[in-house]
Amino acid sequence: MLPTLFRTISQSFIERSLNKAYADRLDERGSTPQGVFWNSRQNQMVRFAALLSVVTGHVAWKKPAPRTLSIADIGCGYGAMLEFINTHPQFAHLRYMGLDINPVMIAACQDNFPTASHLFTCGKKPVSIVDFSVFSGTFNLCHIDDTRRWEAYMFACLDSCWQNSRMGMALNLLCAPETKISNNIFYANRDDFISKASARFGPTRAIATREVKEDYTFLITRNS
């Protein structure tokens, strides 16, 4: 009982801190990459391309190839991934839903996409079964200095989404030789993350994200 209570309190503290940071930043910078702490639009777009390419590539070999693929964008911010999908025909077959724990972000999404406002929901896991949950930079910004607590929070979020992810999950993380938090940014040890995710969920592989230093895209799939 007590470990569960402490875990809930810790998650609540982390999420309150994140919500305030993102709400303040969005108010200051607006619906821009910098408004969700990305350092450039280019890096944001490259990460989107990497995530969506690994999930679409995973099913490309299936015969017949699925006509559509459903994804949940966890930590969707102001909805930039949906804009990316809409402007890249190779991803036109993706069926999108966006979720964020921050109601301010969901309100921004609904303002930015008035005809698709129903695609965005306040929450931290898919509201229905999807093929893949994807996390673009969701776990980068970190307002605590305890890597073990942050990893516990990250894996709790992944656990929750795994239940409603039929094929798997994909996320990108900054990586370093040792797990660390530096300047409020979380860096994972690539091999350690692969080992933990493989044991907890299923086969996990990492692909270096082109053009983004220290960034890796991880694909976690269910055992076939």
What's the average model confidence in pLDDT over 184-196? Answer: 96
CATH class of the region 2-221: alpha beta
Please state which of the ranges 32-36, 41-45, 151-155, 159-163 shows the lowest mean pLDDT.
Answer: 32-36
Confidence of residue 215 (pLDDT cuts 50, 70, 90): very high
Q: Which of 7-11, 162-166, 210-214 is most confident?
A: 162-166
DSSP three-state, residue 2 = helix
Retrieve residue 120's tokens: 């965005």
Query: How much is the pTM?
Result: 0.86
Q: Tell me the per-residue pLDDT of 42-53, one tens digit each, with 9 for 90 and over.
A: 888 899 999 999
Q: Where do the structural domains in the chain lie, given as residue ranges?
A: 2-221
What's the average model confidence in pLDDT over 132-154? Answer: 92
Phi, psi of 28 (to 5 degrees): -80, -45
- CB under 8 Å, gap of 24 or more: what pairs does 91-95 form? 91/52, 91/56, 93/56, 93/66, 93/67, 93/68, 93/69, 94/52, 94/56, 94/68, 94/69, 94/70, 95/68, 95/69, 95/70, 95/71
Quick check: 196 pLDDT over 90?
yes
- DSSP annotation of 123: S
Quote the percentage of the chain above a pLDDT of 70: 82
What's the average model confidence in pLDDT over 75-83? Answer: 92
Contact 71, 133 (CB under 8 A): yes
- Could you tell me how many residues make up the chain? 224
Is the alpha carbon torsion for 17, 21, 26, 27 positive or negative? positive
For all residues of the chain together, what is the average pLDDT?
87
Quick check: 210 pLDDT over 60?
yes
- DSSP annotation of 146: -
Please state which of the ranges 15-24, 126-135, 175-184 shows the lowest mean pLDDT.
Answer: 15-24
pLDDT at position 23 is 64
Task: For residue 43, count other CB atoms closer than 10 A to its CB.
Answer: 17
- DSSP annotation of 67: S
Place of tokens 């639009």: 41
CA 87 to chain centre: 20
Confidence of residue 8 (pLDDT cuts 50, 70, 90): low
> Rounded to whole angstroms, how far apart are CA atoms 22 and 34?
10
Q: Cα(first)–Cα(last) distance of the chain, in Å?
A: 35
> Rounded to whole angstroms, how far apart are CA atoms 88 and 82?
10
pLDDT at position 1 is 46
